[in-house]
């Protein structure tokens, strides 16, 4: 099973580019972030015509997540548990072929300190609780998406530039490492420890051409999913295509049981 994540940065603005990638990637399941669309306005027909089932958790103008699957999706839930007052569309789950797929768009948190950073850390605490529950239930689960976290120095082009950013602050990184310490596996780092592997390049200052990138899109696996990990990769070339997102897809393949 090939499972991918892509922060599309506006599905309607980048639909042709997304469909081209979707056709090339031939993923079984795709988690999307920043669809920036309500459920009603999401371009459903174009994606369904490519053989995908679709579940969305949209929001007008910003945020928004979705799951696409060639297989039926069961037990679809929307919203990260733990705060019924949270109205931001950042989490969607479904079971596909016996695998629990959890798509997320973790808050950016800037400026920090401040209420947006407090929201980020609170969201990460709720994520930790959900991940712990999945592990305790011995679920084969894949928790993937835009984490807005730079876990290590080697995950950015220049740590000094990012030192005071919410994506890189010590409390952010510590919260991410607590996730890993629960027993989750960072799929990319399980197969490639090389520095300079990035999933995001800013549109400004020639960041792509200079390779001023950061790794903030991640795939975390519960032990049962990690046992089935075959490989993990990043489609970096997508960033050089016409009208690209500032993120690129990351994907894993899991062996059949």
Say whether 34 counts as a known binding-site residue.
yes
* Phi, then psi, of 51 in degrees rounded to 5: 95, 15
Strand boundaries in 38-135, DSSP class E: 53-57, 65-69, 74-78, 91-96, 99-105
Q: Which of 52, 147, 186, 247 is catalytic?
A: 247
Cα 203 from chain centroid? 19
Is 52 known to be catalytic?
no
Q: Identify whether the C-beta of residue 55 lies closer than 8 Å to the C-beta of residue 92.
A: yes
Helices (H), the chain: 15-25, 44-48, 115-136, 159-162, 170-181, 187-191, 207-210, 223-226
158 labeled binding residue: no
Catalytic residue among 28, 146, 165, 217: 146
For 82, phi and psi rounded to 5 degrees?
115, -10
Do the Cβ atoms of 245 and 202 come closer than 8 Å?
no
Peptide bond into 111 cis (omega under 30): yes
Q: Is 247 annotated as a binding residue?
A: yes
- Active-site residue, from 105, 117, 147, 198: 105
Q: Is 218 annotated as a binding residue?
A: no
| Distance (Å, whole) CA 207 – CA 122 | 31
Instruction: Say whether 203 is catalytic.
Output: no
Please say if 146 is a catalytic residue.
yes
Q: Which amino acids are annotated catalytic?
A: 105, 146, 247
Q: Which residues are annotated as a binding site?
A: 7, 34, 146, 148, 246-247
Q: Which residues are annotated as a binding site for Mg(2+)?
A: 7, 34, 146, 148, 246-247
């Amino acid at each position: 099973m090939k499972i991918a994540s892509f922060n599309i940065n506006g599905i309607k603005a980048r639909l042709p580019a997304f469909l081209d990638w979707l056709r090339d990637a031939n993923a079984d399941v795709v988690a999307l972030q920043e669809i920036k669309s309500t459920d009603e306005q999401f371009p459903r027909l174009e994606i369904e015509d490519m053989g995908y089932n679709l579940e969305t958790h949209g929001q007008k103008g910003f945020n928004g997540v979705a799951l696409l699957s060639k297989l039926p999706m069961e037990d679809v839930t929307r919203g990260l548990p733990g705060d019924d007052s949270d109205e931001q569309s950042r989490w969607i789950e479904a079971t596909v072929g016996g695998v629990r797929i959890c798509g997320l768009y973790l808050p950016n948190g800037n400026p920090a300190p401040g209420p947006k950073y407090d929201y980020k850390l609170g969201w990460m605490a709720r994520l930790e609780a959900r991940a712990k529950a999945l592990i305790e239930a011995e679920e084969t689960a894949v928790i993937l998406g835009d984490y807005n976290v730079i876990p290590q120095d080697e995950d950015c082009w220049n740590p000094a530039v990012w030192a005071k950013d919410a994506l890189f602050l010590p409390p952010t990184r510590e919260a991410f490492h607590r996730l890993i310490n629960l027993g989750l596996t960072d799929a990319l780092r399980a197969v490639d420890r090389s520095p300079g592997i990035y999933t995001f390049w800013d549109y400004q200052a020639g960041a792509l051409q200079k390779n001023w990138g950061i790794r903030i899109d991640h795939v975390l696996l519960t032990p049962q999913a990690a046992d089935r990990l075959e490989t993990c990769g990043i489609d970096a070339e997508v960033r050089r295509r016409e009208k690209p997102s500032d993120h690129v897809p990351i994907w894993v393949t899991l062996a059949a049981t």
